[in-house]
A and B are shown apart, each in its own frame.
Chain A
Amino acid sequence: MILDGKCPTGDIEEAWDKHRFGIKVVNPSNKRKFKVIVVGTGLAGASAAASMAEMGYQVETFCYQDSPRRAHSIAAQGGINAAKNYQNDGDSVFRLFYDTVKGGDFRSRERNVYRLAQVSNSIIDQAVAQGVPFAREYGGLLGNRSFGGAQVSRTFYAAGQTGQQLLLGAYQALARQIGLKHVVHHNRTEMQDLILVDGQARGIVTRNLITGEVKSHMADAVVLATGGYGNVYYLSTNAMGCNVTAGFQAYKRGAYFANPCYVQIHPTCIPVHGEFQSKLTLMSESLRNDGRVWVPRSKDDVEKPAGDIAEADRYYYLEERYPAFGNLVPRDVAARNAKYVCDDGLGVGHKVGGERRAVYLDFADAIKRDGEDAIREKYGNLFHMYSKITGENPYKVPMRIYPAVHYTMGGLWVDYNLMSNVPGLHVIGEANFSDHGANRLGASALMQGLADGYFVLPYTIGNFLWSERPEPVTNDCAEAKEAVAQVKGRITTLMDIKGSKPVDYFHRQLGKVMYDKVGISRTGAGLKEALEQIPAIREEFWKNVSVPGKANSLNPALEKAGRVADFLEFAEMMAHDAHDRDESAGGHFREEHQTEEGEAKRNDEDFSFVAAWEFKGVGVKPELHKEPLSFDYVKLSQRSYK
């Protein structure tokens, strides 16, 4: 089936304004008659819930954490882009749009991206008015920095805690609405299923993580703001609780899942140091401005202390392979090359699972050139964090880094109104697929989450509500009872397996397959192997997982088991998507498709589309629906970093 994103036509600069005028508006007295469920209260969810409540809708919010303030948006360090042109360096809405489409390697929707760039300025205004303490210059105006290789300084930031400050802004707006009783909020409550009534998304089934109570909540529309699926890799920079369950259950109820193979891998993370490792920590990639990346030339040297390896025996592979950009090649190129040298047995550091997966990031030359104080001035906090985690002094010995999964561009398919193919089901933030294409620019995640939540969804959801005017439904309807029973059944099944292996055992196994075969670099053959391995792990899981404790009380093992069960099915869809996308694009790199320079080589002829997958049964290949992409404003081009 050919999907239609229902984008407005005509001049792109006026498209959003015209569209907003064209869609249905709910008048103020009618808004209070509609109830909207928002699942997830990070940047996108909190901002959407607060904005809709301010407009007069009844809103009910859910999060698995003990407070909306803890959503993982809080961990974003770098900043948020906006086309303010405060630095007078020629930035504009069009330039931000242009950079984002190009950064997404021409796999995003032009009109969505243009809208994103348009509303970016309002986000900054809104955040400042909320009291978000962005960095300022001595004149009292906002400071900006250049980020992620952008040629203009358009990134607004609050030290290294921009995500935290923006989330607290949205959280405070949400808290105000909760205080005013316009929003009913549920902490420590996790969505387990989506309820469809007459084909429309009308409710969710949740499990109260404290009491274990499974129940349904009904509304006139459902908004998922449930984040990304990076934890399918077991180790990622995501928080421990991040999961795909909400989106995946919606997929199983008929929503299409788009572009799951687009995953962003961040090149500068602290490497794995043991089997017990639970998560990976990101360090700003600004480190590559002064650090030199290398590994020993010989396998015999990998165990030696870095200082004992002579200059001639060091392989500065980025500088040798990419003389023009050297250590500053883009994220995906840096990440891929780190994998290749480690695959060749040149990795350094701790041996975990029989292999060493780390490369050196060496500041010795920079310290010699600029002095230790200058380096401390620039990177002091990062060096401090590194030494705290690893126990090593990076001023004396080189850092060790390795890429880690960081952000997922794929997500539930949505149209221009951010509504999925299931009427009433809206998806915002990282949970949808819409704006980043095949790769995301630095400082664009915060922008997209808040754009969706503050300035897009609150308008577009009205179109659905007023054109459909859904009939009232209650928790007693057959569909709700069926969904509740299904969730309870799945919990009972999990509890009754009483196997011998903890949940994490399976999650680790899955993560390893995903990193090896569906990770930084992929091959058709490897993906075929993954498609055999993933179902095998899943089968073993359903036979042999051990979930102690009780179903009707606080049970972290049960929570994990449910999430991993979904990851085990989801991973297979990811592998299908990665396999069928027989081209390289952005974060999806197929070794068969690269330029002579080792760059991702797109196939615009055959793959200029969004791949939206429809569930056809567990273990059955999902059905592919294509949404064709056209580029009228940004000319298709191939990047080169040689």
Chain B
Amino acid sequence: MNLTLKVWRQSTDSDGRFETYEAKDVSTDASFLEMLDVVNDKLEGEGQEPIVFDHDCREGICGACGFLVNGVAHGPETGTTICQTHMRRFSDGDSLTIEPWRASAFPVIKDLMVDRTAFDKIIESGGYVSVRTGAAPDAHTMPVNKHDADDAFNAATCIGCGACVAACPNAAAMLFTAAKVSHLGMLPQGQVERYERVASMVDTMEEAGFGACSNHGECEAVCPKGVSLNYIARMNRDLVMAKLKGL
């Protein structure tokens, strides 16, 4: 199949613009990133700089890849990352607009690559259980209700790709933060620091320049792991409790 790509090109020192490329003879079995590899091979062959994008595992779990395809984070396929989207999802002659995550907390590094260290900062500020190596009791001293364990696991499946921020009209990181707050907050191990954690992580999230939640639900819709909006409501509750405790 043949495609027309409108790709955002930007280097650190410029404002960026869309450039148009033709992708010819694309195999329908290729993944989206493999399609870009082929385009890049051609660009490199012509002495032009390849389109830069983040990627690593290419099996939908590391969370490195991600950009918008035709206005949708991670492209048209729901419940998956762009690296696991295959070209058979598109039709011959399609025109595709490819654009990086846009958020002031995620500055563009180059082309489709953005800086997501703000996510790391949020985790660093409290997204953990403070247990030093070797200080753990036997794993069975604390049984966990299966429902709670499963719910915590569902929150913990977040891959930190940033699609939630990208899709949110407010560039909010609520879903990302709420997923970690909920994962740890629903487990007995996470109870001791439950309220300190939420207060500190929300503070860091806002200092990083992410927006507020308007409950649009865009984040949940594009999340490759289907992390639920309900965790945001849960985080809101925990934050109010934290503030009532003066944290």
Contacts and interface: CB of A to CB of B under 8 A. Distances in A.
Complex contact flag A–B (Cβ < 8 Å):
yes
Contacts of B49: 548-549
B58 A240 contact: yes
Contacts of A72: 56-57, 62
B62 A70 contact: yes
28 contacts: A67-B117, A67-B120, A69-B160, A70-B64, A70-B160, A75-B62, A125-B136, A125-B139, A128-B142, A129-B135, A129-B137, A130-B128, A131-B183, A133-B150, A140-B143, A141-B140, A159-B153, A171-B123, A172-B127, A172-B129, A175-B124, A176-B130, A178-B120, A210-B109, A276-B27, A278-B37, A389-B86, A546-B45
Given A276-B37, A554-B52, 17 more contacts: A47-B133, A54-B133, A67-B160, A75-B62, A84-B139, A139-B143, A161-B61, A175-B128, A178-B120, A240-B56, A240-B57, A273-B29, A276-B30, A458-B133, A548-B44, A556-B50, A556-B52
B34 to A, nearest CB: 5
Nearest to B149: A136
Contacts of B86: 388-389, 391
B190 A175 contact: no
B56 A239 contact: yes
B45 A142 contact: no
A127 B187 CA distance: 13
A282 B59 CA distance: 9
B56 A136 contact: no
B146 A140 contact: yes
B115 A66 contact: yes
Nearest to B56: A239
A51 B132 CA distance: 7
A482 B225 CA distance: 47
Interface string A253-277: 0000000000000000000011011
Contacts of B80: 388
Interface residues of B, number: 78
Nearest to A172: B128
A86 interface: yes
A446 interface: no
A137 B145 CA distance: 8
A226 interface: no
A278 B136 contact: no
Contacts of A159: 153
Nearest to A132: B156
Contacts of A391: 28-29, 86, 88
Contacts of A345: none
Interface in B63-113: 63-64, 77, 80, 84, 86, 88, 109-110, 113
Interface string A49-79: 0110010000000000111111110110000
Nearest to B139: A128
A131 B64 contact: no
A126 interface: yes
A463 interface: no
Given A133-B153, A179-B125, A274 B27 contact: yes
* Minimum-distance CB pairs A-B, first 4: A140-B143, A179-B124, A129-B136, A172-B128
Nearest to B143: A140
Nearest to B42: A502
Contacts of B5: none
A282 B219 CA distance: 29
A609 B45 CA distance: 47
Given A175-B120, A279-B58, A128 B136 contact: yes
B58 A278 contact: yes
A133 B132 contact: no
Contacts of A454: 133-134
B77 to A, nearest CB: 8
A66 B58 contact: no
A480 interface: no
B229 interface: no
B125 A131 contact: no
B218 interface: no
Interface centre among B132, B133, B134, B157 (most CB of A within 10 A): B133
Contact of A165 (B126, B128, B153): B153
Interface in B26-62: 27-31, 33-35, 37-38, 41, 44-45, 47-50, 52, 54-59, 61-62
Contacts of A500: 45
A16 to B, nearest CB: 14
Nearest to A281: B59
B144 A140 contact: yes
A65 B142 contact: no
Contacts of B11: 553
B63 A136 contact: no
Nearest to B200: A179
Given A75-B57, A75-B62, A173 B133 contact: yes
B178 interface: no
Interface centre among A84, A140, A281 (most CB of B within 10 A): A140
B15 interface: no
Interface in A109-167: 122, 124-131, 133-142, 158-159, 161, 164-165
A171 B120 CA distance: 10
Contacts of B157: 161, 164
A390 interface: yes
A388 B29 contact: no
A122 B136 contact: yes
Contact of A277 (B34, B129, B149): B34
Given A50-B133, A130-B129, A131-B129, A165 B156 contact: yes
B149 A502 contact: no
B223 to A, nearest CB: 15
A246 B185 CA distance: 39
A409 to B, nearest CB: 21
A273 B86 CA distance: 12
